[in-house]
Amino acid sequence: MKPRARKTTPVLDTVEVGPLRLRARAVSFDLSATPLHWIPGYPVASHTISAYHLLFPEVERFFIAAFKEALPEIRDPRLREDVLGFIGQETTHAETHDASLDDFFLRNGIDPEPPLRQARFLLGRLLGPRSFGDAERDRQYLITRLAITAALENFTAFLGHFVLNCAWDEVGADPAMTALFRWHGAEEMEHRTVAHEVAEYFDARYSRRVRTMIVVLPLTIWISCRFIWYLISNDPHTTRSRLRALWQAVRAGRDGVLPTAATVLSSMIDYLRPGYRPESTGSMAQALGHLAKVEARAKVA
């Protein structure tokens, strides 16, 4: 019987790290030898995480467009600085994932373009920048996009905390893909407060946060499932049974290789607490420690 991966204990902050100066880091990741099933023994888990490798660039461009539009209205100098740092980091995230999409997916026999077209239509045309010819309506639409960004950033911070503490190393996951997601996850943790602060700067009403999450949660589940199933259904070496795929995902969650449904929903519910603060997600000290290692390795290379 294959031994179950050891579950890691989440790290919590024990010290105050103080104010941060967000900045993009120069990184590169070579996925030219990364197999399609890059988490050995967990093909569905591999496709689940790879779906976000495919989806993240379009999501991050949605964030960037909203923040760039909002920037001229932000008068708080510290928040402006954080927004600029956020834009820089998210731009690097999008470019870094994009750089290896064709190499990773096409090399492994999967055309990434069909789901990408869907993501561009949803995030670019339906939810992207637009003008209604009325200043107040345009502003309310921008505030809605900022609220969506904040809700989704709660999810990416949750994922960042997960990848820093998951059991991928114990099961022999591909080191290049692991390194890419852990760098990305650590930076999501580093800027985890920014989108929430921007959303509250424009509209601090709790009702706005609740309304937005009611829309964002099913939309996130829907598009995630579409991307995951696209990868599974285009892989001849993975189950075609949705029920079997679901069971494999549940097993991967039990083994610490994927987040469990309970922890994902708990993160979303936590976001709906009236007293919610992004600082409650994971450990900033852990994220910064990991990023220090990333920078040290980049200097050696």
Transcribe 191-226 into DSSP letters. Answer: TTTHHHHHHHHH---HHHHHHHHHHHHHHHHHHHHH
Residue 298 confidence (pLDDT): 81
* pLDDT cut 70: percent of the chain above it: 93
Residue 19 confidence (pLDDT): 63
Torsion sign (Cα): 57, 58, 61, 67: negative
Examine the pLDDT at 139 and tell me if it is beyond 50.
yes
What is the spatial distance between Cα 164 and Cα 183, in angstroms, rounded to a whole number? 9
- Whole-Å CA distances, 27 to 124, 165, 175, 179: 26, 21, 15, 10
Torsion sign (Cα): 72, 74, 76, 82: negative
Selected residue with higher pLDDT from 271 and 9: 271
What is the spatial distance between Cα 268 and Cα 262, in angstroms, rounded to a whole number? 10
Average pLDDT in the 76-100 region? 95
CB within 8 A of 113, min separation 6: which ones?
Answer: none
HSE value, Cβ hemisphere, 13 Å, CA-based, for 271: 30
What is the spatial distance between Cα 222 and Cα 29, in angstroms, rounded to a whole number? 29
The residue written with tokens 């809700």 in the block is: 151
Average pLDDT in the 271-295 region? 94
pTM: 0.92
Contact 176, 33 (CB under 8 A): yes
What is the spatial distance between Cα 38 and Cα 232, in angstroms, rounded to a whole number? 14
pLDDT, tens only, 205-259: 999 999 999 999 999 999 999 999 999 999 999 998 999 999 999 999 999 999 9
The residue written with tokens 């834009």 in the block is: 87
Residue 229 confidence (pLDDT): 97
pLDDT, tens only, 3-20: 344 444 444 554 455 567
What is the spatial distance between Cα 127 and Cα 191, in angstroms, rounded to a whole number? 23
Residue 6 confidence (pLDDT): 41
